[in-house]
Structure 1
Amino acid sequence: MPRIGRFTKKSKVDSLCQGSTAASSVSQVDGLIPPSGGTGPSPTSSLPPFRPPRTEPLPAPQPPTNGAQHSEPPDEDLDQEADEVDSFEQHIDNQFAAAEALKRKRRKTTEFWDVKTIESDGTIKQLHLSVREAMKPPNGRKIVLRFNDRLQPVGNEAGILSGVVGMLGSDYTKFPICEKDWRKVRSRDKIYNECVKELFHFEEDNRTLEENIRRRPPGITADHWRWFLDYRNSEDTKEKCKKNAENRSKQLYTHTGGSKSLARLEEEESERLGRPVSRGELFVLTHKRPNGSYLHDAARAIGEKIAEIEQHDESSRLLSQNDSLAQALGKEHPGRVRGMGIGPTTSQVFGTNSSQSSIGTQREETQRVLLELQAELAAEKLKRKAMESALMCLVRGQGGELPPNVAAWMNSLEGQSRE
């Protein structure tokens, strides 16, 4: 750390003060009185008398000849530019710079790692890679990770894995910076599959079947454990796991119901509101946080669409294949009914295809009869209006009043026409 200049005071005094100081120093040198004995005068009487300052310049003081040393020995390490000091801000900056330099000197940095890689053709190579070089397009090359007996990554490969994960986590183009919980980051599985698994090779299948058989957990019989291993190693099971992982990655609307089933939530909400709850209302309820905000923009778009549909059409609250949830999400998937949990199927809730077709036919017939009745009612209203007009003209032409029974009949017709 470089030597910091010492703060000193500059001697800026007038000639009068300089003369006084010089006179005082000379008098102290010339007027030295050797120490007296015990019977001599007091120490105060040995001090030189006060002399007023003189206006004429005094000769330069001469070094003492009696060998007494009254000046400090010269400091060979004294900075010749001690009077020229930096500002306080510059002094603080220098202190910080020195501290950072000391940290960098003590810090152990490893920019390159000796790792084992496997090429696309299966060739094993030993390379000297940095984190940035490892993150370049691999072109079929992968870094082979090693694990200990607790399945934890170790070695230089684990170090470069940590660096890659750190750089990916700080890339805001891949991960949003507006999430408080890592579990709510939707892109983490995608980045893991597209980046981490493409850069690293996991030696997961190095245990043989015999080794796995010997690692049987306590409480499981040997035949059951062997059956489980055969089931997990079968191609059908591997294909199912791959398919399930793909389906899980496509799920857009993760709900907030937790372990409580949709059936329980529906019953509790119906009891609270005092009326049946629609599938659309249940969707909105299970896709909001406790503070009332939606989980993400996709859930907000569906929730707002459901609210708009139910506001304009009250019948969309009724359970059907064209209710508010079906209009917002589209056609139902086979084998299950959205918004009703595990158990109900489309045939149980909406009926079979034949029953659905018969219901549709009945609905069309009812609609046709309703239209005919509405047309007949409109025609009857027109006839009644015409009769009222004719009677009024007849009465006015005669200039008389209607009989009481005819007037009562006319009043009843007028009231019905208003209704």
Structure 2
Amino acid sequence: MQDDIARLDADDPLAPFRDRFDTPDGLIYLDGNSLGCLPKATKARMADVVEREWGQDLIRSWNKNDWIGAPRRIGAKIASLIGANGDEVIVGDTTSVNVFKCLSASLQLNSERHTLLSETGNFPTDAYMMEGLAAIAPDRIKARLVDTADIVNSLDASVAVLLLTHTNYRTGRLHDMPGITAAAHARGIPVIWDLSHSCGAMPVDLNACQADFAIGCGYKYLNGGPGAPAFTFVARRHQEKVFPALSGWLGHKAPFAFTDDYEPAPGIDRFQCGTPGILGCAALEVGVDLICEADMADIRRKSSALGDLFIRLVGDKCAGRDIRPACPTDATERGSQVSFHHTEGHAVMQALIARNVIGDFRAPDILRFGFAPLYNSYADVAKAVEILTDILATESWNQDRFRQRAAVT
């Protein structure tokens, strides 16, 4: 087995990228679907932004160093990863704020309809933003969650928009983006796709399936750092039809005219809101540039193979240890992660972290392991499962210190 693992790593076309990340020695990091590792180039880029652009050029940097162009410039790079045109993606704000923008835009496109539809078990912020928007006009707007199996059958004449996460954050299960989008369109319903657990980890082709809107975060597989700016995709055909509900000054047609009335900028620029966070944008751009260098087909092949290996080794070594897959075992049906049920999932994950294997826990009982193919190796997977096997066999997780719940799990 060790020889097979070594051979897989030796033949890996993505292996050279591993040295371009600052990963601590002895740590097996399988949480890139929550926070990506630090690209080594980010430190020098951030130092330059702070010391030269901010420290020396000061306010002149909005023009001299194109700070003002960062949202469009980085957005165009992300567009190349998600099957969009460069003028359909803008960077800025948070994923939650961008969900609100797209929901409110969809209500304008479908002004005679009133239901915001999503599924139970979706990432909570998406459902919460639906609730918040509905609370603004409770007599007109309704938020509705249905079981995953009932999504298509729930696309009735009351639905203004469907909001779904492409890769489920708990189980890693993928939605059929082309099929669901087509089914929604057949009923006159636009679709918002949350790509937070997909972008940078697998090929996505929004325009091929005629997607309407999409959003995603910058700090997972794009390696933009904690709280990195998010992005918004708006199909060209919708851009001029929407008056932004969050009509911030930078989305104005002429922001530096400082007029009293809001006139939306043309195209994707109207989906900007406030002043972009330049430090966050600078870090994000380094991570995006790194992903853009790699072949997305290679990334997808490796992430699938890493997941297959993890599932197979757990099945071989941990049988009878109260652990079972919570993710699809077929790689074509899951994103770049694997998940397992265990009745003491939180304590098991804390025991893993204590032994330098970092994944994460998702309530109520899920152990989650995310694979970032640019820096994770097959050897990482084999060693992680070896440690997991020992923890389960010895029940070393059964300690009070591993049952303590921190603010972030």
TM-score, length basis structure 2: 0.19
Structure with more helix by fraction: 1
- Which protein has the larger Cα radius of gyration, Structure 1 or Structure 2? 1
- Relative contact order (alpha carbons < 8 A, sep ≥ 6): 1 or 2 greater? 2
TM-score, length basis structure 1: 0.19
